Chain A
């Protein structure tokens, strides 16, 4: 994981995207997340919206933008469940903020770095999920280590492929 010096960090470009991409890609991710399990039930282990939050937050390298993007995508995710609005909102906000902060400090274009970063973030998302359900909502939520570990690995691998595809949508300046 290559740490960038201060000068390089300043000079580092902030990747930009067409506004339509910023709107359509999160919507597409949410659409696929709710539609695909009808045909392939095992797709429920994927968390495409979180991967999209991580990608755009890392690319924009702005913690505030990452937080707000996480807020919007998280609320959209919550809206299609029957649970209170804000569960995924909180998780995605925190992940967006952390991803943007990390994007400022390390080179995240490397596939190996992306794999490790995605794995850590997806595991953190699962932990936050259980914490919020238990502590804030008083709901019964069990923690299955193996299941969450496998989920994080699968999402991390998918994230590497997805990020490579999304890299093509960057604006060249």
Chain B
């Protein structure tokens, strides 16, 4: 026996080490599947390794950023004035656009409230630098330089301004591991914006992102935008994910197809990301402030371009604004002087119509703005007036 052991000592040691690791693999897989505490033990080893490596990564990152910032700072200074003017012009245009969309957003919120639908707004994010990867194609994870000490927890969405990157997985005190959306073990509820098809997005072994378990549909077109649906309870709805690249057959899930997606974010070249640490069901105060600013800006621009239109705050009986802090009313075209049945607001509400009733000659004449509603943006109130001739213009 002794001679056997001494003769085959080397292969026996190899066998023992390999068997021990296989046993360890089985235990980890079992505990992960049953949701046990096995992850805590391996987490400790991962923590030691990350703690060992991350200081060097931070040093390289800082050094790289220092050189890069110095060089780009010099280059940027040469064009900063022209760029500043361009950005101001763009900001003005965006504000006007935002103001025009704000009213729709408010209506949307009212409807959501009506249907008891909880919208989630991103209210707090933490910016983080990407400091490392897994170093292998089989594990699509990133490491960021923020951890639990910065308020980050497991399963928090990680995004960039372009779109979704992934979610936090293992969180250490000063570092976090981010599971990218193109990893085969990731899962993300998505929706195609035009066809309204819902599905689960995950990665495949080639590092591509695909939506699985979708029935063949001719309406799915190349370039269609894909956003988060919010159904996974991790990502807020509406975040851009990518665009449809092509539809391929999925032999493992016949008759379903897989829709390959081109991610909105370049996942292999990430420097900085945002971790969404908090969402809320009401619009954040900063967003409300932005909308108010935009509406004021839009009102100013409208007043400048159309001096006849008076866009001001509603005034009280004493001639002072009812609420000086309230945002200006939404910008709307002034009421027409000679309204007809094509005038906006002239159509009666659907609830007032009776199917089959002989009232096709009715013309709803919007009432001109009242004296208290001094701004031209107020919506005209509809009144009904029976006319003998449908083509006859009603009196204002």
Contacting A81 at CB < 8 Å: which of B17, B24, B139, B270? B139
Chain B residues within 8 Å of A35, by CB: 56-57, 60, 131-133
Q: What count of chain B residues pass the 8 Å CB interface test?
A: 51
Q: Of the listed stretches B41-49, B110-118, B365-373, name the one at the interface; the rest are far from the partner chain.
A: B41-49
Instruction: Specify the chain B residue showing the minimal Cβ separation from A74.
Output: B21
Contacting A80 at CB < 8 Å: which of B64, B135, B269? B135
Which of B32, B50, B53 neighbours the largest number of chain A CB atoms within 10 Å of its CB?
A: B53
Contacting A34 at CB < 8 Å: which of B24, B133, B185? B133
B2-15 interface bits toward A, Cβ cutoff 8 Å, 1 = contact, 0 = none: 00000001110110
A95-136 interface bits toward B, Cβ cutoff 8 Å, 1 = contact, 0 = none: 001000100000000000000000000000000010011001
A161→B219 CA distance, assembly (Å): 54
Chain A residues within 8 Å of B283, by CB: none
A56-87 interface bits toward B, Cβ cutoff 8 Å, 1 = contact, 0 = none: 00000001100110010001110111111111
A101→B9 CA distance, assembly (Å): 13
A31→B60 CA distance, assembly (Å): 11
Which of B9, B11, B18 neighbours the largest number of chain A CB atoms within 10 Å of its CB?
A: B18
Contacting B133 at CB < 8 Å: which of A38, A67, A140? A38
Contacting B50 at CB < 8 Å: which of A68, A80, A97? A80
Contacting A67 at CB < 8 Å: which of B13, B29, B53, B184? B13
Chain B residues within 8 Å of A141, by CB: 138, 205
A83 touches B10 (CB 8 A): no
A162→B194 CA distance, assembly (Å): 53
Q: Given A41-B268, A140-B184, A82 and B135 touching (CB < 8 A)?
A: no
Q: A79-B46, A80-B135, A85-B24 are in contact. List 9 more A-B contacts (CB 8 A).
A: A27-B52, A31-B57, A35-B57, A35-B60, A63-B11, A85-B28, A86-B28, A93-B21, A136-B26
6 residue pairs bridging A and B, Cβ less than 8 Å apart: A31-B53, A44-B133, A79-B48, A80-B134, A90-B18, A142-B205
